[in-house]
Amino acid sequence: MTLNENQLYVHGNLGRSWEYKTVESTGKQLIESALAYQPTKDDDTIWIDLSCWEGREGETNHFDAIINATDKGSRVIVRGRLKSRSYTAKDGTAKTGWSMSVWDIATVVRADRKADPYQGATAIVDGKPMTDEDWF
């Protein structure tokens, strides 16, 4: 099985702030960041380039919701399509690069035994922050 064209959930920390981009050839808008993913504490960090695209009708309201809820260092879970690409590094070694088209993103708040473990958590689905009523 290859990981190309599969829907996955990946968690990690954002490695940089979101940046607005426009594809010159099509005019489509997107925001980009990178996710640092480490399967276990002893594994190497895997960097995944993240892209969140405009909606079908060109809507970009979800960009502001994502940017306001997350920034560099934010712990997040993303859902989307993960793709790999092979390339040759400057030193001549074969490498694999990872990118993901993001469909959903949620912040992760680690539990504090003395506080509400979900305090400050935000999930963004279909471009809108979820409310308590959306969960049920």
Provide the domain limits for residue 74.
6-135
62: in domain: yes
Q: What is the pLDDT of residue 87?
A: 92
End-to-end CA distance of the chain: 35
Tens digits of residue pLDDT in 97-118: 999 999 999 988 766 555 554 5
Short-list 25, 16, 26, CA closest to 49: 16
13: in domain: yes
Number of domains in the chain: 1
Distance (Å, whole) CA 134 – CA 131: 5
pTM for this model (two decimals): 0.74
Helix (H, G, I), strand (E, B) or coil at 50: strand
Return contacts of 37-44, CB within 8 angstroms, 24+ apart. Answer: 37/10, 37/11, 37/12, 38/12
